[in-house]
Amino acid sequence: MTVRLAQDGTIELEGACPIEDAEALQRYLIADPQAGVDWRSCAAAHAALVQILLAAKSVPRGPPASDFLRTHIEPLLKSRGAA
């Protein structure tokens, strides 16, 4: 599983997250809207996951492990997030 729930309730994204993870991510976020997302080990994320993060206005704990996510996606999530 590339998306999993850590013991402290944090949702962790790890490695290359495929489209299937979007549903799990959404489920976790619905179950606990306050849960933090940690994508520091995330090397790639399918658009479906980014879509869920945007819809949830979630600002994951970063920086993520890929240049693309770090340079282009993280700032977006930050500017849209919980603000």
Q: Which residues bind other proteins (CB under 8 A)?
A: 19, 22-23, 25-26, 29-30, 33, 44-48, 50-52, 54-56, 68, 72-73, 76
What is the nearest approach in angstroms of other proteins to the Cβ of residue 42? 13
Residue among 12 and 52 whose Cβ is closer to other proteins:
52
> Which of 20, 36, 9, 52 lies closest to 1, judged by CA?
20
Q: Find the shortest distance in angstroms from Cβ 34 to other proteins.
A: 13
Give every strand in the sheet of 3-5, ordered side by side.
3-5, 11-17, 37-45
Q: Which is nearer to other proteins, 7 or 20 (CB)?
A: 20
Token pair for 29: 């976020």
What would the two tokens of residue 30 be?
């619905």
